[in-house]
Amino acid sequence: MLRTSTPRRPTHPGARTREYAITTQRPHARKAEPVDADEPWMLGLHADTGYVLYRLGLRSGQLFNAALQESGLRLRHYALTRYLATVEGALQRELSDRLGYDPSAIVGLVDDLERLGFVERRPAPGDRRSRVVVLTDGGRTFLRDTDRMSRRVTDELLHPLSKGEQEALHALLLRIAEPGRT
């Protein structure tokens, strides 16, 4: 007797194809459990501003990724499209430098966004071997749709602060993140 089998969907995330991974809903990162700041082991960590900034970054990323989950994209995709909205186009190495992502990660992010029609790779003026990544009309629509989501996430994250405190925090974080900017 001849047995036939139907192709099975991969059983573990590492076996998924890149297309499957960006076009299906993925569970967002596990939310951080509340921590008792009075525990002796936490006192030192909460006294360390770098650690508190790290925790804030994790929480911010989790909120953004959860909000972007429906689109199948992640915060890194949003950041790349947001940057491209401010320039006429950028080489992949420029995207890596500006966003602080590994060059190999940029290739995958651009591939994802190109497959969705949000960006295009075009020949670089004056260098036939290089490609410039350019935001498409579809990418601009995605940004318009996600801008409201971005504001909601930021509002949720900063709701314990007054408007003045939010502005002061933003200014201080910019001074730390980009020292030569101010």
Contact 93, 103 (CB under 8 A): yes
Other C-beta atoms lying within 10 Å of the C-beta of residue 95: 23
Place of tokens 């939010």: 166
The pLDDT of residue 114 is above 90: yes
Name the pTM for this structure: 0.67
Beta bridge partners of 124: 127
Average pLDDT in the 114-127 region? 92
**pLDDT 10s digits, 124-178:** 888 878 889 999 999 999 999 888 888 999 999 999 999 999 999 999 998 988 7
Q: What is the mean pLDDT of the chain?
A: 80
Percentage, residues of the chain above pLDDT 90: 48
Place of tokens 């573990």: 12
* CA within 13 Å, CB half, 1: 2
Contact 21, 111 (CB under 8 A): no
Average pLDDT in the 29-51 region? 66
Residue 24 banded pLDDT, cuts 50, 70, 90: very low
Contact 131, 114 (CB under 8 A): no
**pLDDT 10s digits, 66-94:** 988 878 889 999 999 999 999 999 999 99
Residue 116 phi, psi (nearest 5): -85, -5
Contact 121, 39 (CB under 8 A): no
Tokens encoding 109 = 């992010």
The pLDDT of residue 6 is above 50: no
The pLDDT of residue 34 is above 80: no
Checking DSSP bridges between strand 90-91 and strand 119-124, what pairing results, if any? unpaired
